[in-house]
A = this chain, B = another copy of it.
Amino acid sequence: MTGKIAQDPGSDGPADKNSANKDSASAETAEQILAALKFDAQGLIPAIAQQHDTGEVLMLAWMSPESLRETLASGRVCYWSRSRGALWRKGETSGHVQRLVELRYDCDQDALLLLVDQTGSACHTNRRTCFYRALRDGASRILSEPEA
């Protein structure tokens, strides 16, 4: 009987209710975190994107409250483009989207760490990471080439 009720497409069953409650609680928590975060004079906060499974640091970009809200709601990372002064839905044109795995934030609540799953390359030069230059053995080095 339990199984039959759960499978009834017309029922507003426990699963649906729990899901709605969870979404609501999640949105409320997101707003509490947003209220606690310290955005700078331009209304922005720096966000580090790190590949969740390899630990590779992919890029550093900026978020507005609006872009963070959209990221949490959609599960796809949206930054604020300082050069364009507009929302920057990462990968919207390139397809190189970042799926948000987890949002973390620091002790001072003025920096974000986004654990993401990066499709393709994070960098506009078509490299996996934006941090492809290094000072190594006293010389400036390029650590990776653009991907095919």
Contact = CB atoms under 8 A, between A and B. Distances in A.
Interface of A: 22-23, 25-26, 29-30, 32-33, 46, 48, 50, 54-57, 59-60, 72, 102-109, 111, 113, 123-125, 127, 130-136, 138-140, 143
Nearest to A26: B138
Contact of A130 (B50, B108, B134, B143): B108
Given A48-B48, A55-B54, A60-B46, A103 B138 contact: no
A57 B134 CA distance: 18
Given A46-B46, A131-B106, A138 B57 contact: no
A48 B60 contact: yes
Given A54-B55, A113-B131, A138 B22 contact: yes
B59 A106 contact: yes
A56 B55 CA distance: 7
Contact of A123 (B56, B107, B127, B135): B107
Contacts of A30: 135
A142 to B, nearest CB: 11
A71 to B, nearest CB: 11
